[in-house]
């Protein structure tokens, strides 16, 4: 389907869903005609605001960011409104089947839907904009030597610096990460949603990250949407080590830690030379080491990473679903949604992300800065 046709179909579907919400809720709402008219006006306005918010980057500042904010807030509210409207349909269906028809059911549930949707949107906004909490995780590694016991890797992921996430937001993350005094820092992709020209001023705080053995970055799919190569150059200029299917060795001989990184799982669709390859990332690594850790943006790299012989894979991408109920759909694309998981003999840790994408909304999937500690099994 051509891109313009896809956009048209998507816009039509969104419009029809707005109409569906209005038709199912407004006739039953116990409010005045004036309030119903305002609700109709909002639904009519919300429909174009959502695609406008997604396309606002094409405008000049400050209109671009302002329109993105309004459009993304509208998208977040619409999402909850739609889900709760569908939930109301289920309640009404069950009540009809049970022969239960209290007088308050239709007006009460119709009024509850927008109130709850607004509450969820506001709570989600607060959760998205506050500083991500530190999540501490122990990862047991068999035979880990004393020199690597308690080795800490602080992982941040999916920050999505862009129209609604700017320098001040990132500065708070950097300060929190540095306060954890990590041995190494891992940034597992989807750092930006914009070009170097647009965002270099806002990503500059990354140059202040401090870790005993350095800061490492791997590309996510969003880097390829906006130009991966310029961002790779920019981040290297800030002192970050960008791992492109390659590794570094921390320590010596059999007590060494191999820290590797691969390009995004889908990178070859944008540049064949960037095809993700966990096995290649280990080329030239010592045959006998204490542990092998892979940074890979998407959890679905896990089968190839396990086959290559890694002990631990650190990923992001999923946002933990970001807000309910979309977390229920993540397993349709990714083998793991969040937290520490076991894939064959390898551990996979999936961060819920340190920022957010699209609607400034997190509900049921809090953001995180992850402090992983390697411990002897």
| Residues 256-273 pLDDT 10s | 999 999 999 999 999 999
Q: Residues 300-327: what's their mean pLDDT?
A: 95
Which two structure tokens, joined as six digits, stand for 16? 């029809």
Q: Where are the beta strands (DSSP E) in 296-367?
A: 312-315, 339-343, 346-350
Distance, in Å, from the CA atom of 71 to the CA atom of 77, rounded to the nearest integer, reads 10
Give the tens place of pLDDT for each residue, 26-81. 999 999 999 999 999 999 999 999 999 988 877 777 789 999 999 999 999 999 99
Furthest-apart CA atoms within the chain: distance in Å: 77
**Could you tell me the pLDDT band of residue 5, with boundaries at 50, 70 and 90?**
confident
All structural domains of the chain with their residue ranges: 3-129, 133-376
Averaged pLDDT, 280-297: 96
Q: Does pLDDT of 301 surpass 60?
A: yes
Cβ-proximal residues to 97 (8 Å cutoff; 6+ apart), any chain = none
Other beta carbons within 10 Å of 269: 12
265-284 mean pLDDT: 97
CA angle centred on 231, ends 161 and 225, rounded to 5°: 70
Rounded distance, CA 375 to CA 364, Å? Answer: 29
Q: Please tell me the predicted confidence (pLDDT) of residue 113.
A: 98
Mean pLDDT on 341-345 = 96
**pLDDT tens figures, 111-161:** 999 999 999 999 999 999 999 999 999 999 999 999 999 999 999 999 999
Question: Which pairing describes strands 312-315 and 346-350: parallel, antiparallel, or unpaired?
Answer: parallel
pLDDT the model gives residue 2: 53
Domain 133-376 has CATH 3.40.718.10: no
* pLDDT tens-digit map of 239-259: 999 999 999 999 988 899 999
Cα distances from 301 to residues 162, 251, 278, 334, 343, in angstroms, run: 26, 26, 8, 9, 11
For the residues 178-182, what does the mean pLDDT come to? 98
């Amino acid at each position: 389907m051509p891109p313009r046709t896809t956009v048209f179909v998507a816009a039509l579907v969104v419009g029809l869903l707005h109409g569906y919400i209005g038709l199912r809720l407004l006739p039953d709402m116990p409010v005045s005609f004036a309030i119903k008219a305002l609700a109709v006006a909002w639904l009519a306005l919300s429909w174009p605001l959502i695609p406008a918010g997604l396309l606002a980057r094409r405008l000049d500042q400050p209109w671009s960011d302002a329109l993105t904010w309004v459009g993304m807030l509208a998208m977040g509210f619409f999402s909850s409104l739609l889900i709760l409207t569908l939930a109301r349909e289920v309640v009404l269906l069950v009540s009809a089947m049970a022969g239960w028809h209290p007088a308050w059911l239709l007006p009460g549930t119709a009024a509850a839907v927008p109130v709850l949707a607004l509450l969820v949107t506001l709570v989600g906004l607060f959760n998205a904009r506050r500083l991500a909490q530190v999540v501490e995780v122990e990862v047991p590694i068999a035979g880990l030597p004393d020199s690597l016991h308690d080795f800490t890797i602080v992982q941040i992921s999916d920050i999505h610096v862009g129209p609604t996430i700017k320098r001040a937001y990132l500065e708070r993350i950097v300060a929190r990460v540095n306060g954890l005094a990590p041995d190494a820092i891992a940034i597992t992709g989807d750092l930006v949603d914009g070009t170097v020209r647009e965002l270099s001023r806002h990503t500059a705080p990354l140059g202040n990250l401090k870790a005993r053995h350095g800061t490492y970055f791997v590309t996510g799919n969003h880097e390829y949407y906006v130009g991966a190569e310029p961002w790779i150059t920019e981040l290297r200029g800030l002192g970050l080590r960008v791992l492109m299917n390659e590794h570094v060795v921390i320590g010596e001989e059999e007590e060494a830690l191999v820290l590797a990184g691969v390009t995004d799982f889908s990178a070859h669709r944008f540049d064949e030379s960037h095809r993700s390859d966990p096995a290649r990332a280990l080329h030239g690594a010592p045959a006998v080491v204490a542990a092998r850790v892979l940074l890979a943006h998407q959890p679905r790299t896990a089968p190839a990473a396990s086959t290559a012989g890694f002990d631990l894979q650190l990923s992001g991408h999923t946002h933990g679903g970001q807000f309910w109920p979309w977390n229920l759909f993540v397993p349709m694309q990714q083998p793991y949604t969040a937290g520490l998981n076991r894939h064959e003999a390898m551990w996979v840790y999936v961060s819920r992300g340190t920022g957010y994408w699209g609607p400034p909304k997190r509900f049921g999937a809090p953001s995180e800065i992850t402090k992983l500690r390697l411990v002897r099994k």
